[in-house]
Amino acid sequence: MTARTKLTDLSMSAMNGVHRALLRGSGGRLGWTFGTMPAVELHTIGRTSGQRRSTMLTAPVHDGETYVLVASKGGDDRHPFWYQNLVANPDIELTVRGRTVAMRARTATAAEKAELWPRIVGAYRGYAAYQTKTSRDIPVVICEPR
């Protein structure tokens, strides 16, 4: 594991911890948005551990009960663990503003990603920069109610 990889993992973990502390400390009144994007808590089942895992993310696109997530990991060359977990077990839960909903996650097709990408980058232009930092195709995940 390189120093950059360790730093990326550490900073992602720290951001998640700060985000959770903000939600807890405010009694859930603060922390549910990041700019114009809703913050969501993704609950997956670990692909190797079988344990429930949770991570805070943003959903740059959301239409009704459908939420779109971006597996960018800040432009890292590796897919985030949460993405690997939902590929292995697409039955997930999303918590949005304190309400948890059973969902099914799937990776967007190339055509769906091409249609969604301008909206994603419109919500947060950092996603375009992340894609230029890595040779991996950053997956876009569509989450729909079960």
Residue 68 identity (one-letter amino acid): V
CA–CA separation, 88 and 140 (whole Å)? 16
Confidence (pLDDT) at 97: 87
Domains along the sequence of the chain with CATH = 3-145 (2.30.110.10)
98 pLDDT band (50/70/90 cuts)?
confident
CA distances from 111 to 100, 114, 116 (A): 29, 5, 9
What are the tens digits of pLDDT across the range 43-73?
999 999 999 999 999 999 999 999 999 999 9
Residues 70, 138: contact at Cβ < 8 Å? yes
Predicted model pTM: 0.81
